[in-house]
Amino acid sequence: MQKILRKRIFRELKENLFRYIALGLMIIIGMFIVISLVAAAETIMTGTELASKEQAAEDGQFSLFAPLTDEEKQKLKDKGAAIEEHFYLDYIADNDTVLRAFKIRQNIDLLRADTGSLPLKDGEILLEKRYSEETGLAIGDVIQIGKHSFKICGIGTVPDYEAPYRNLSDPAIDSSQFGIAFFTESDYEMLKKEHNSIQSEEYVYAYQLNDGLTDKELKETLQDFTMSADDIEDVYFQEYWNRTGGKIEDFKEALKDLSDGAEELSDGLSQLESAMGGMQESGFFGNSLDDYAYGVSKTADGAEELADGISEFSDETETFIDDNLNVELSKLTQFLTAEDNMRIGAASDDVAINKSVGLFAGVLLIVLIAYVISVFVVHTIEKESGVIGTLYALGVKRKELLLHYLILPAAVTFIAGIIGTLTGYSSFGVRSEMQDCYLYFSLPNLEVVHKAYLFVYGIVMPPVVAAVTNFCVIRGKLKKPALALIRNEQKVTNAKNIRLKGGDFIRIFQIRQFLREKRTAFTVFFGMFFSLLICMLCMNCYVLCKHVKEETSADIKYKYMYTYKYPEEIVPQGGTEAYGVTLKKEVFGYNLDITLLGIEGDNPYFDAGVEKGQNRVLISSAVARKYRIGTGDELVLKDEENDKNYAFTVDGIVPYSASFFVFMDIESMRELMGENEDYYNIIFSDDALNIDSGRLYASVSKEEMEKSAAVFVDLMGPMITTLSVASALIFIVVMYLMLKVMIDRSASSISMMKIFGYRKKEIRRLYLNGQLLVVAVSALIGIPASKAMMNAAYPYMISNIAVGMNLSFEWWMYIGLFGAIIGLYLIVTPLLMRRINKILPAEILKNRE
């Protein structure tokens, strides 16, 4: 029997070709997007993991004040840590971009040249891929750094700069402004000797753990490594040391002088006492000297006692200094495991969310389409009610018919799923989805990874979901007794039985029509909601990028920000000092940097009236949004280098979205951190200051920050456009198909209305204008609901991005979205009217045979 019934499936398909092509296309497009998105994610995740192994990626890295000694290196080796120097210097290249210079690596985080070769001889340079793409530099080009020219011999990647952030606290990557380059060892040393870099050399070591050594154990070992200030040759360090930590030596000198002076005083008085004795014995001075000699003797005794006391004080002070004021400095300035490093594995983190969201959205889309199909199937069942009843009467069983009615939805979704999956998995699909990542992260060329589960997902999931959804929906319809089906008895539900009093006939008719077609209305709402979710994803993405760009420009009042490694004694003229410490706070599994910034209450660059108190802070709006904290909340920040937690009470929120700043009174912060009362390490200014680069960790201008913030808008633009169009298409197809099925179901009554003499406009009012109300109400519910849902989900989606989330819409955006929905409805209406016009008065007779 199924063999015979199967023949009608093709005919059903042919009769409703447009409908099934539209639905099939939706599945194909949906599966294409989902499969290509997830396959791209899998390719990136698997590919980068493989590349990390091949390129001997680090387990972590640490930064030191001074390079390791041979003895320290040996100690680390004995513990089981393999290390390699990844020292670097930053330069302004001749194209006005910042280029970070490294030596080529031998053991850890190896270079991989996508094109060309590694620098083998002096005068050659390998550029990081994204930087070369953004700046248009290619193999064979020459790049000028200081007085030297370097020929580009290769373009490649390294695993520790997969996300080539200039600073780990940067909110975005801007490869048009910053890149990394690799030189031969001798070229690197040559550049270093010329002191033309814009900041001092950074002593970064990459490490790999062996022999069961853990990150924690390695960190503890490194914390024990100390240095003497004399070991460091850096002139800026020495200058800085001499007026800060070096003062303890002056203290010791002074103490020694005091002790020596006291001893000298005692010796002098002893000599004076001895001389006085001789003078008395001579008898030349009579008794007049006795009193004076007595006084000298007493003073000499006292001075001796003073010298003893001072000597004792000096010894005690020495002991105290040795015990408590150790002048040996800890070398470790930063310890970063690969897991906590924003530059490592960033692409995988970024696409991991694409994978889970994509897979979920795919199922949701198939459920939506399956439900749409089920509405058609239900319509067919209702239309064929008599046939089904007769077949039951003849002994056909429900499960046989159920199976028959499930075949079409399953077949359509299966075939569309296959096409969508294969096109999605084509190199075009995967490559195009990977393009976003390739345009942001520095990734090696990756081979597309084929995952069996994705084929199962794309090919098996759609028909299974369609079968299950349709089974649930149509089972009830086929459950009716044969007689009820033959008589086409309609179940009288409470909703249909509502008594409507008063009001005009048209309004009552529209309500009745809605109650009758509530399944269709629900599907329109469901389709709209699904489309709105995609739309909200795009709009949130757009407003986030727009706000980051606009607020960065509006909130940053300074033009330059200098971060010192070795601050000067006196704050440079034109600069406003601040004291910054980088601490950490976790959000959704990502440990992000937060700068605790000590400022004066009347600081001109931040609208932050900080008050004294070691636990009172104001937070930037970026922190408030990212961590969802507000006034009165407790904020705990972690100092990972020293394993300390700082707890603060939030006094207020400062409108500053460019960085994660926590503002504190500078004096209170100095006290909290044990710094001098005039200590600072950050300068904000309106003009460029003449600060020696060797003193600085970093310098950044407002213009650079604005450019970085604008990167998001450029980056996300194509995705926003594609998904917006896709969401509008989904909505328009679902709305059209559902409203058309509603008209088809009402064909008899529309035909009857025509027989009664109703005109087109009146029929439109009866059957379509009520649907406008459904669309409008669905939009009024769906817009805020989808916005709320997407706002709740969004933080998870961009949890690895260090920006605060201002997802607020302008009022006109809501109105615009509502208008767009009504606009789409109005586009569909003429098509529906055409269908209504095609219904002839004879239709009712045809339906009655």
Among the candidate windows 8-16, 205-213, 409-417, 435-443, which touches other proteins by CB under 8 A? 8-16
Minimum distance, C-beta of residue 738 to other proteins, in the bound complex (Å): 23
**476 lines the binding site for other proteins (CB under 8 A):** no
Q: Is 536 exposed, middle or buried (CB count within 10 Å of its CB: 0-12, 13-18, 19+)? A: buried
Please select the residue that binds other proteins; options are 223, 317, 356, 390, rule is CB under 8 A.
Answer: 390
Among the candidate windows 173-181, 382-390, 491-499, 509-517, which touches other proteins by CB under 8 A? 382-390
Binding-site string for other proteins from residue 425 to residue 454, where x marks contact by CB under 8 A and - marks none: ------------------------------
**483 lines the binding site for other proteins (CB under 8 A):** yes
Among the candidate windows 230-238, 480-488, 545-553, 714-722, which touches other proteins by CB under 8 A? 480-488
Minimum distance, C-beta of residue 394 to other proteins, in the bound complex (Å): 5
**12 lines the binding site for other proteins (CB under 8 A):** yes
Of 224 and 489, nearer to other proteins (C-beta) is 489
Query: What's the rounded Cα separation, in Å, for the pair 36 and 435?
Result: 11
Query: What's the rounded Cα separation, in Å, for the pair 748 and 432?
Result: 49
Please select the residue that binds other proteins; options are 141, 231, 263, 384, rule is CB under 8 A.
Answer: 384
**840 lines the binding site for other proteins (CB under 8 A):** no
Answer whether 185's CB lies under 8 Å from 159's CB: no
What are the distances in angstroms from CA 638 to CA 165, 641, 642?
22, 9, 9
Strand partners, 411: none
DSSP 810: P
Among the candidate windows 36-44, 231-239, 445-453, 481-489, which touches other proteins by CB under 8 A? 481-489
**The pair of three-digit structure tokens given for residue 300, joined into one six-digit string:** 């000499």
Of 195 and 398, nearer to other proteins (C-beta) is 398
**The pair of three-digit structure tokens given for residue 118, joined into one six-digit string:** 């590694």
**482 lines the binding site for other proteins (CB under 8 A):** yes
Answer whether 262's CB lies under 8 Å from 310's CB: yes
Pairing, β 661-665 against β 590-599: parallel
Among the candidate windows 3-11, 305-313, 747-755, 803-811, which touches other proteins by CB under 8 A? 3-11
Taking phi first (over 0 means left), then psi (-120 to 50 degrees means alpha), and beta for anything else, what does residue 791 get? alpha
Q: For 20-136, list the strands marked E by DSSP.
A: 60-64, 81-85, 88-92, 98-103, 112-116, 124-128
Residues in the chain: 849
Among the candidate windows 144-152, 476-484, 507-515, 750-758, which touches other proteins by CB under 8 A? 476-484
Query: What's the rounded Cα separation, in Å, for the pair 27 and 463?
Result: 11
Strand partners, 582: 595
Among the candidate windows 4-12, 77-85, 95-103, 741-749, which touches other proteins by CB under 8 A? 4-12
Angle, helices 518-555 vs 770-797, to 10°: value is: 50
**11 lines the binding site for other proteins (CB under 8 A):** yes
Among the candidate windows 111-119, 388-396, 748-756, 783-791, which touches other proteins by CB under 8 A? 388-396
The shares of helix, strand and coil residues in the chain, as percent rounded to the nearest 5, are 60, 15, 25
Of 396 and 403, nearer to other proteins (C-beta) is 396
* 579 φ/ψ angles, rounded to the nearest 5 degrees: -125, 120
**729 lines the binding site for other proteins (CB under 8 A):** no
Please select the residue that binds other proteins; options are 309, 476, 481, 784, rule is CB under 8 A.
Answer: 481
In the region spanning residues 485 to 504, those forming contacts with other proteins, defined by CB under 8 A, are: 486
Please select the residue that binds other proteins; options are 165, 376, 392, 530, rule is CB under 8 A.
Answer: 392
**1 lines the binding site for other proteins (CB under 8 A):** yes
Report DSSP letters for 491-513, one per residue.
P--TTTT----SS-HHHHHHHHH
**402 lines the binding site for other proteins (CB under 8 A):** no
Report DSSP letters for 603-646, one per residue.
-TTS-----S-TTEEEEEHHHHHHHT--TT-EEEEEETTTTEEE
**The pair of three-digit structure tokens given for residue 846, joined into one six-digit string:** 């045809």
Among the candidate windows 9-17, 163-171, 213-221, 785-793, which touches other proteins by CB under 8 A? 9-17
Query: What's the rounded Cα separation, in Å, for the pair 317 and 544?
Result: 59
Among the candidate windows 7-15, 506-514, 610-618, 708-716, which touches other proteins by CB under 8 A? 7-15
Of 129 and 480, nearer to other proteins (C-beta) is 480
Q: Which residues contact 120 (CB under 8 A, 6 or more apart)?
A: 153, 184
Please select the residue that binds other proteins; options are 7, 193, 491, 499, rule is CB under 8 A.
Answer: 7
Q: Which residues contact 263 (CB under 8 A, 6 or more apart)?
A: 307, 310, 311
Q: Which helix (H) or strand (E) holds 731?
A: helix 702-745
Q: Is 602 exposed, middle or buried (CB count within 10 Å of its CB: 0-12, 13-18, 19+)? A: exposed
Please select the residue that binds other proteins; options are 71, 212, 394, 494, rule is CB under 8 A.
Answer: 394
Of 475 and 507, nearer to other proteins (C-beta) is 475
Minimum distance, C-beta of residue 482 to other proteins, in the bound complex (Å): 5
**849 lines the binding site for other proteins (CB under 8 A):** yes
Query: What's the rounded Cα separation, in Å, for the pair 656 and 558?
Result: 12
Degrees to nearest 5, angle at CA 744 with 738 and 749: 125
In the region spanning residues 658 to 717, those forming contacts with other proteins, defined by CB under 8 A, are: none
Minimum distance, C-beta of residue 386 to other proteins, in the bound complex (Å): 4
Please select the residue that binds other proteins; options are 82, 367, 396, 515, rule is CB under 8 A.
Answer: 396
DSSP 801: S
Q: Determine the longest span between alpha carbons in the chain, in angstroms.
A: 161
| CA torsion through residues 605, 606, 608, 610, sign | negative
Q: What is the 3-state secondary structure (H, E, C) of 394-410?
A: CCCCHHHHHHHHHHHHH
Among the candidate windows 241-249, 389-397, 465-473, 693-701, which touches other proteins by CB under 8 A? 389-397
Please select the residue that binds other proteins; options are 393, 456, 500, 725, rule is CB under 8 A.
Answer: 393
**580 lines the binding site for other proteins (CB under 8 A):** no
Of 241 and 392, nearer to other proteins (C-beta) is 392
Minimum distance, C-beta of residue 416 to other proteins, in the bound complex (Å): 22
**193 lines the binding site for other proteins (CB under 8 A):** no
Q: Is 616 exposed, middle or buried (CB count within 10 Å of its CB: 0-12, 13-18, 19+)? A: middle
Please select the residue that binds other proteins; options are 15, 49, 224, 810, rule is CB under 8 A.
Answer: 15
**389 lines the binding site for other proteins (CB under 8 A):** yes
Please select the residue that binds other proteins; options are 386, 574, 589, 717, rule is CB under 8 A.
Answer: 386
**The pair of three-digit structure tokens given for residue 252, joined into one six-digit string:** 């010791």
Minimum distance, C-beta of residue 478 to other proteins, in the bound complex (Å): 12
What are the distances in angstroms from CA 249 to CA 245, 255, 257, 371, 390?
8, 10, 12, 81, 107
Query: What's the rounded Cα separation, in Å, for the pair 585 and 598?
Result: 18
**397 lines the binding site for other proteins (CB under 8 A):** yes
Minimum distance, C-beta of residue 14 to other proteins, in the bound complex (Å): 9
Minimum distance, C-beta of residue 4 to other proteins, in the bound complex (Å): 5
Minimum distance, C-beta of residue 450 to other proteins, in the bound complex (Å): 40
**21 lines the binding site for other proteins (CB under 8 A):** no
Of 256 and 399, nearer to other proteins (C-beta) is 399
Taking phi first (over 0 means left), then psi (-120 to 50 degrees means alpha), and beta for anything else, what does residue 151 get? beta
**395 lines the binding site for other proteins (CB under 8 A):** yes
Among the candidate windows 6-14, 147-155, 226-234, 682-690, which touches other proteins by CB under 8 A? 6-14
Among the candidate windows 11-19, 32-40, 62-70, 182-190, which touches other proteins by CB under 8 A? 11-19
Answer whether 662's CB lies under 8 Å from 593's CB: no
Which residues make up the interface to other proteins (CB under 8 A)?
1, 3-5, 7-8, 11-12, 15, 384, 386-387, 389-398, 481-483, 486, 849
